[in-house]
Structure 1
């Protein structure tokens, strides 16, 4: 491999030159033995693509494969960069046959007048974006809603067929046919000849991404030719009456408006490609997800018990075991990827399945975590201008399939079996998925009303605030007459989620609608317990009253998190901690951490009286004379003016407490260095939207190549989701920072309480849930 220009030492090359084959890359560099042996048609790749290329992800992230004639890219950041730049990295070879077709097979295809043209998947600009804009509307979350009843009805009808059998092949008996029917319905195609279309779809996959043997190529070519002719006949019939639902009919109607954009040949190609794209990927993704979840009984049990976890479980399954493990691009000019020189004209195999297991982006990447906060960062749908338009249709189908199966067959388990896959580089799902269960235990036999309960499908990006977990109240201990300490543990004794100082959890106080946030105040090093302290507020909104009056040891609670938007900077030279009343809770773990790290710190704790101040004895033992108690009944008030009179470079101030205290601190710190004061917020009104006082603005999405209008009465976050753009979110109030987006141009009207003063002045990021444009336009890195 070529050494990056910025490097001078041979050790900078990522290749182990002690183990090289005689093969050479197009740049003349020797190829390592592992790169020379890379073969995505091997069963090991089909069984587990991320594991198959683990060595590359860790040691040789960009390498040349002599067997394929492709450069292979395996790391998250590199692959996202390739997707982001669709001019340098052309999609034109995405549908190119990865195995050259024989002359005999080409002759067969020609006999059917096969003329597959460019589609949205493999065409370059400017044609691609013009067509994408014209044809996008049916794929938006709002437009997809009316498909949900049909998908649910189909899923239930197919489960009805085998619910009492005690065994099934979910692929043969449900997961292949239902997505095909949904795909045909979405496209507006009659549901005739389903079996034939299934065979044609497989043949198209093998023809484009597989390695059929010479004797198979003729059979495949005949199937693909028939597929092409059938697609043309269906399209001709639609042209006779293009009214009514269906994406293809929508395209025919748009052709009348944009004849140069939506052409006849384009519609014919999209008819054929659309059936494969809308059907096979979803069928495989659902089979992969069910296989994965059933292989992880705890995760399966949790989504059976709590269907609200299903949307994020879908994202995690798409990340961990997606149906599109790799895609292809063509370098249009000399370029570097990950420091490796790639010549113009090079073909790239970008292994998204590997990127989705990259430890640099996903903590414990090989672990299935259905509550993973950034699951939806996966690249299974691609990214940028060519991100899969049908992603939300697939998400909806997968959610409904999991909802129906977890509700009706929670006792389902995998049979002993070997899993086989159709050998190809880019589409992956088990050919069969054998499951079994005891029909006598079917829940609906004892509870016929079970089928009446339906969880609403969340079409679009799942939000973190919906990801809950059940915990058990291990103990309740009064700390003062008004404050109780609760220790929470997992029902099965498993470790609790990891957290850092400043984190909090959301607790459902009796109902999901009554949810309150409480800081974690235990020891982050304790894996078994989460600890919170709750102040009884009789005049509050009811959360603390419910906890104090209704909760007892052994009860189960639903919590969300931990989440952290009050992070402790461990690089600070000195820290001043300031707490008022129950505001001591997030400060406890921070001060403990400062002590562990040997940071110079002081802890100032204020309260009405010592009797009302929780944790005083524990804090005194741990912090000694670094603890300064300001008890009102003793006449000791914290003099902020004196304490903060002299600004100190490198000193950070962390504060939590009553609003009046925080406002006073902000005034006293006005002359301190930027961002010296860090404050914990649990509520915000800055993001409240009043359409009468707002103005509309435009947002140019640089990576996606589209412009979105944000009306006066809509948030940026909602406008982005309405345009089929994925943005994670959590609190929706500008408190947590999870919906942060990068800003490339335009002035921001910041309304969050997350960003520091210097971050706001830098004007390069914003919270999509609440902040807006100060002017008429923003340009975002999306």
Structure 2
């Protein structure tokens, strides 16, 4: 199976100088120079063009912290309806193959406004009580230890493939209710979903990915139907019992599909980005070993500084004027949370990685307002647990010489691989 296109990351300790020739018209989140290090460019945009039109995304972009946060809160003018329908890069042939599923996730909570959003979010929240999150954390700790056990004798591993992804993917599968024998197929289909909708692909590859995506939807659809007939102690059964009185069958299918996507993406990317940053400067890793109480702050700072989430998409319901620029009604808008996380008016010296930064948690990686991610507490707990186990069991973790690469993605910043030794 092919992997998403990638580009080399900047060498440890060296950040490429911003190209003064780049302007807002060059904004392309999949361009080599942008993937390698977008932050000097984004800083210039925040100063010079905080609101601009992107030909690459075919939408408007907000880059300043205050504007992004205000738009997250203002769902009357910045609507979430259709915000996850990102099929604009697909060929006409593939759109025809997908049919109604080209607008997949239309019925997921993050793709809706109140009051329907409120009803679906309330249903999902039943599975994320503090007690349930604590129990999932215990299960995740076991899975992290199992992943470490599997590679420990070798003295080396690909952190992304061997240590970051397996625990999160397995926990998501168990939580949702995916049988163990189906986990690898589901993981492959989830990766196909990301590649199809969220990274540029050639036409032949799009056709292959579209077939995988349709298999994924069919699988989840059958899983929901089975659990309605024979419930178990899992999330699918919890949601399936709400059909048809509280939620529709399709709403349940899309909710489950989206949560599986999150379990295979955000936390693994955050863990890999954090390990890469910590091991590039051994002083940070050594500080963490000496004082584990720094772990929660480190988690927030790495989420802020390393772009685990690009942001969220919205559609304007009326003309909106910001900084002298009018965004017309019906336009799509990127709320650039990654740029907001580097806004120097909120985070002084924003490119400096500071595990003790007092307001690091003010980032918007998990959204803001009514659309704040319902799984944020679990994601934070998983990252905290992972680093507790890594610092305890692999204190000699180090980076061998290598060139790392980030995925080209419309939604977040993640490494394709990271070789580590101990």
After TM superposition, is the score higher than 0.5? yes
Aligned counterparts of 2:35 and 2:232: Cα–Cα separation in 1:
42
Residue of structure 2 equivalent to 1:300: 285
SS at match of 2:110: coil
Query: 2:49 corresponds to which residue?
Result: 60
Instruction: Pick from 341, 349, 355 the counterpart of residue 370 of structure 1.
Output: 355
2:63 to 40, 49, 74: 74
Match of residue 407, structure 2, among 385, 404, 422: 422
Root-mean-square deviation (Å): 2.0
Distance 1:52 1:183, change over 3 A: farther
- Whether 1:252 aligns to 2:237 is no
Q: 1:229 aligns with which of 207, 218, 222?
A: 218
Q: Deviations over 1:119-148 (max 9, x none)?
A: 011112221112212321322333211112
Q: In the alignment, what sits opposite 1:337?
A: 322
Please say if 1:207 is aligned against 2:196.
Answer: yes
Q: What's the offset of the Cα at 1:229?
A: 1.0
Determine the structure 2 residue equivalent to 1:568: none
Task: Give 1 or 2 for the bigger CA radius of gyration.
Answer: 1
The Cα of 1:287 is off from its aligned counterpart by 1.0
- The equivalent of 1:380 in structure 2 is 365
Corresponding position of 2:4: none
Determine whether 1:46 maps to 2:74: no
Measure, in 1, the Cα distance between the counterparts of 2:223 and 2:140. 23
> What displacement does 1:418 show?
2.0
Aligned to 1:140: 129
Counterpart of 2:14? none
8 Å contact from structure 2 (residues 73, 369) kept in 1:
yes
Q: In structure 1, which of residues 167, 176, 181 is the aligned counterpart of residue 156 of structure 2?
A: 167
SS at match of 1:176: helix
Alignment: residue pair count: 402
Deviations 1:187-217 (A, max 9, x none): 2222333222222112111222222222221
The structural deviation recorded for 1:293 is 1.5
User: Do 1:97 and 1:207's aligned partners in 2 also have CA atoms closer than 8 Å?
Assistant: no
Q: Any conservation in 1 of the 2:304–2:363 contact (CA below 8 Å)?
A: yes
Deviation at 1:115, TM superposition (A): 6.0
8 Å Cα contact 1:49-1:353 kept in structure 2: no
Structure with the bigger percentage of helix: 2
Runs of at least 5 residues in structure 2 that lack an aligned partner in the other structure = 1-20
1:436 aligns with 2:421: yes
Q: Deviations over 1:643-680 (max 9, x none)?
A: xxxxxxxxxxxxxxxxxxxxxxxxxxxxxxxxxxxxxx
Q: What is the rounded CA distance, in whole Å, between the counterparts of 1:431 and 1:167 in structure 2? A: 17
Structure 2 SS opposite 1:121 = helix
CA distance in 1, matches of 2:409, 2:137: 32
Distance 1:114 1:231, change over 3 A: farther
3-state DSSP class of the match of 1:64? strand
2:111 pairs with one of 122, 125, 131: 122
The separation in 1 between residues aligned to 2:302 and 2:101, in whole angstroms, is: 39
User: Does structure 2 conserve the Cα–Cα contact (< 8 Å) formed by 1:44 and 1:52?
Assistant: no
* 1:282 to partner: Cα distance: 1.3
Secondary structure of the 1:336 match is strand
**CA deviation after TM superposition for structure 1 residue 278, in Å:** 2.5
Helix, strand or coil at the partner of 1:71: strand
Q: Report what 2:138 is aligned to.
A: 149
Cα distance in structure 2, aligned partners of 1:143 and 1:149: 10
The whole-number CA distance in structure 2 between the counterparts of 1:208 and 1:336 is 30
Q: Alignment partner of 2:111: what SS?
A: coil
* Shift in Å, 1:396: 1.2
Q: CA deviation at 1:186?
A: 2.0
Which stretch of the first structure deviates more once superposed, 423-432 or 52-61? 52-61
TM score, norm. by length of structure 1? 0.50
Q: C-alpha displacement at 1:435, in angstroms?
A: 0.7
Pairwise CA distance, 1:79: 0.4
Deviates more, 1:182-191 or 1:304-313: 182-191
Deviation at 1:98, TM superposition (A): 4.9
What SS does the corresponding residue of 2:180 show, helix, strand or coil?
Answer: coil
User: Quick check: 1:90–1:331 contact (8 Å CA) kept in 2?
Assistant: yes
The C-alpha deviation readout for 1:665-704, integer Å capped at 9, x for no partner, is xxxxxxxxxxxxxxxxxxxxxxxxxxxxxxxxxxxxxxxx
Higher normalized contact order (CA 8 Å, seq sep 6+, divided by chain length): 2
How far is the alpha carbon of 1:327 from its aligned partner? Answer: 2.0
Rounded Cα–Cα distance in structure 1 between residues aligned with 2:377 and 2:194: 22
Q: Which residue of 2 aligns with 1:405?
A: 390
Task: Output the CA distance in 2 between the equivalents of 1:284 and 1:421.
Answer: 10
Matches within 5 A, 1:382-781: 382-437=367-422
Structure 2 counterpart of 1:218: 207
2:358 & 2:205 partners in 1: Cα distance? 45
So what's the TM-score if we normalise by structure 2? Answer: 0.90
**8 A Cα contact 1:278 1:390, kept in partner:** no
What is the aligned partner in structure 2 of residue 107 from structure 1?
Answer: 96
Find out whether 1:309 has 2:294 as its counterpart: yes
1:111–1:40 Cα change, 3 Å: closer
1:541-576 per-residue CA deviation (whole Å, 9 max, x = no partner) reads xxxxxxxxxxxxxxxxxxxxxxxxxxxxxxxxxxxx
- Unpaired runs of at least 5, structure 1: 1-31, 438-782
TM-superposed deviation, 1:339: 4.2
Q: Distance in 1 between matches of 2:254 and 2:31?
A: 30
Cα distance, 1:233 vs. partner? 1.9
**CA distances 1:276-310 after superposition (whole Å, capped 9, x unpaired):** 02221111111111112112321211111111111
Matches of 1:74 and 1:111 in 2, distance apart?
Answer: 33
User: Hey, what's the Cα distance between the residues in 1 that align with 2:269 and 2:389?
Assistant: 18
User: 1:226 and 1:90 mapped to 2: Cα distance?
Assistant: 30
Aligned to 2:6: none
Confirm or deny: 8 A CA contact 1:303 1:406 kept in the other structure: yes
Deviation at 1:178, TM superposition (A): 1.2
SS at match of 2:154: coil
